[in-house]
Amino acid sequence: MKREQPLLFELGAPGRRGCSLPPLDVPAKPINELLPPQMQRQDPLALPELSEGELVRHYTALSTRNHGVDSGFYPLGSCTMKYNPKVNEEVARLPGFALLHPCQPPESVQGAMELLYRAGLYLQEITGMDQVTFQPAAGAHGELTGMMLIRAYHRSRNDQRKVVLAPDSSHGTNPASAAMAGYEIKEVPSDERGLVDLEALRQLLNDEVAALMLTNPNTLGLFEEDILEIAAAVHDVGGLLYYDGANLNAIMGHARPGDMGFDVVHLNLHKTFATPHGGGGPGSGPVGVKEHLAPFLPVPLVEKGEKGYFWKDDLPHTIGKVHGFHGNFGVIVKAYTYMVMMGAAGLRRAAADAVLNANYLMERLKNSYALPYDRRCKHEFVISAREQKKRGVSAGDIAKALLDYGFHPPTVCFPLIVEEALMIEPTETESRETLDRFAEALEEIARLAAEDPASVLAAPHTTPVSRLDEVSAARRPRVCWTGNRKSD
């Protein structure tokens, strides 16, 4: 079972190749005439040399060493690993979408511009915002864009606010994005309910605060039920409210950030809107704003005129650009396909099933694990391995043990405010049987942690490699293969 897969560079033989190209069909010139010798590459280019078949075998072998949503359950909290419909992949590969240049004359890409326009209308309706930009390529990119918009808004009013607030339960990207936009970060504590401590928030609010970044439901999977009071308090001091859309899947079709008082939102199309995450990306992080922030949006924006769709470039107050072109269009095509198939009732149903699945699983697990916040959750919930930890079994160990049952583990050790956290998000696309089998696996691991902790600590047993040494990987980083094994 356990074996190494050779590197690309250890396969093949000099002289093999994996592609064919057409011969030159224009009169050939000596290469030295086109490219003077002093501009030519000196260092020989050491790329792999494999036949096409060998290449396919290599990557097929690698793929069998990887777990995706198609392989099995993937309850990674705050990542919304729902099923990725196959039709989306077909659509994105249509030559009429995949083979377009971003700088083609608008009259030759009216269908693509219409798709962006329509997708924008869907997202405006779903979020309750007034306008959308698709340039951000991922959630964190959306956050950075949002922070740029907020800064531009305040500056346009001659207001040099310096502080952004984020709860102690927030995603790491929130403070990182705000810092990248030049803001000082202050942390808002959570109260015993696991929600924003409203009193503490009020004490942090003043005319230095540019914005509060909030995920709702939060990373504990709990809905911030004081949201209207929070919004009023932030707006009262002239601050803006930023919505991290990572957890929108919980409430889509049931409530909208725009109605809660949020001024800026980003969405993660690769979470809520069922586009695949690609082993790390590409995602897409469109940003929606209320009218008062629209003048600052990145350019160009797609608009509909009498003669069709056109690029609107003349926004005098724009923050400029955050992407070289129009964002991750191919991902937007997939999300749009998903939205037109789901419709309003389908999206609402998806959110309700996601919440039902999470509550069902939480109910099943609370007998074997500590549940720090025992209240109705939304799309995800957090259990704690603090009891198991007393026997030496951490949340991370439980995650490794789950690998032997064929499941991807939950998010571990996050949010930071829960000791030994396991953050579980089943999503709506999982059947009850899967939830039951997952619960049984976690129950069995809890039993083992009590009776035979050593067996949990030794996991995983069935994966292509056993536990990996992350500490020495970071101490002496080897990030580029130089042909030598460590043991050599």
Residues 141-200 interacting with another protein (rule: CB under 8 A): 141, 143-144, 147-148, 151, 172-173, 175-182, 185
Q: Is 238 in the site for another protein (CB under 8 A)?
A: no
Q: Is 228 in the site for another protein (CB under 8 A)?
A: yes
Considering beta carbons, is residue 425 or 446 the nearer one to another protein? 425
Residues 433-452 interacting with another protein (rule: CB under 8 A) = none
Q: Is 71 in the site for another protein (CB under 8 A)?
A: yes
The residue within the footprint of another protein, chosen from 73, 129, 133, 139 (CB under 8 A), is 139
Task: Write each residue from 377 to 396 as x if it is in contact with another protein (CB under 8 A), else as -, in one continuous string.
Answer: --------------------
Q: Is 473 in the site for another protein (CB under 8 A)?
A: yes
Residues 344-363 interacting with another protein (rule: CB under 8 A) = 344-350, 352-353, 355-357, 359-360, 362-363
Residues 394-413 interacting with another protein (rule: CB under 8 A) = 399-400, 403, 408-409, 411
Nearest to 435 by CA among 343, 353, 369, 377: 353
Burial of 386 (0-12, 13-18, 19+ CB in 10 A): middle
Considering beta carbons, is residue 364 or 450 the nearer one to another protein? 364
56 near 17, Cβ under 8 Å? Answer: no
Report the nearest approach of another protein to the CB of residue 333 (Å): 7
Number of residues that bind another protein (CB under 8 A): 205
Burial of 243 (0-12, 13-18, 19+ CB in 10 A): buried
Q: Is 431 in the site for another protein (CB under 8 A)?
A: yes
The residue within the footprint of another protein, chosen from 292, 304, 312, 376 (CB under 8 A), is 376
Residues 286-315 interacting with another protein (rule: CB under 8 A) = 298
Tokens encoding 285? 């992080």
- Region of 235-243, 321-329, 387-395, 441-449 interacting with another protein (CB under 8 A): 321-329
Q: Is 81 in the site for another protein (CB under 8 A)?
A: yes
- Region of 90-98, 203-211, 384-392, 448-456 interacting with another protein (CB under 8 A): 90-98
Tokens encoding 140? 């964190």
Q: Is 465 in the site for another protein (CB under 8 A)?
A: yes
The residue within the footprint of another protein, chosen from 238, 295, 453, 464 (CB under 8 A), is 464
35's torsion region: left (phi>0), alpha (psi -120 to 50) or beta? beta
Considering beta carbons, is residue 179 or 450 the nearer one to another protein? 179
- Region of 201-209, 316-324, 380-388, 440-448 interacting with another protein (CB under 8 A): 316-324
In sequence order, what are the residues at sequence separation of 6 or more whose Cβ sits closer than 8 angstroms to the Cβ of residue 423?
A: 77, 78, 219, 221, 380, 381, 382, 410, 411, 412, 414, 415
CA separation for the pair 211, 204 (Å, rounded): 11
CA separation for the pair 113, 307 (Å, rounded): 13
Sequential DSSP letters for 364-400:
HHTTTSB-SS-S--SS-EEEE-HHHHTTT--HHHHHH
Q: What is the DSSP letter of 30?
A: -
CA separation for the pair 142, 289 (Å, rounded): 11
E strand or H helix at 187, and its extent?
A: strand 184-188
- Region of 200-208, 286-294, 381-389, 467-475 interacting with another protein (CB under 8 A): 467-475
The residue within the footprint of another protein, chosen from 133, 169, 272, 328 (CB under 8 A), is 328
Considering beta carbons, is residue 140 or 449 the nearer one to another protein? 140
In Å, what is the CA distance from 199 to each residue of 226, 346, 398?
Answer: 11, 38, 36
Q: What is the DSSP letter of 107?
A: G
Report the nearest approach of another protein to the CB of residue 386 (Å): 21
Report the nearest approach of another protein to the CB of residue 347 (Å): 7
Start-to-end CA span in the chain (Å): 25
Residues 27-66 interacting with another protein (rule: CB under 8 A) = 27-29, 31, 34-36, 38-50, 52, 55-56, 58-60, 62-66
Sequential DSSP letters for 210-238:
EEEEEESS-TTS---TTHHHHHHHHHHTT
Report the nearest approach of another protein to the CB of residue 29 (Å): 6
Long-range pairs of 195-200 with CB within 8 A, sequence gap ≥ 24: 195/222, 195/224, 195/225, 195/226, 196/167, 196/224, 196/226, 196/230, 198/226, 198/229, 198/230, 198/233
The residue within the footprint of another protein, chosen from 89, 130, 208, 443 (CB under 8 A), is 89
The residue within the footprint of another protein, chosen from 32, 203, 304, 325 (CB under 8 A), is 325
The residue within the footprint of another protein, chosen from 218, 245, 430, 445 (CB under 8 A), is 430
Tokens encoding 35? 């490219």
Q: Is 470 in the site for another protein (CB under 8 A)?
A: yes
464 near 3, Cβ under 8 Å? Answer: yes
Considering beta carbons, is residue 3 or 306 the nearer one to another protein? 3
Report the nearest approach of another protein to the CB of residue 25 (Å): 4
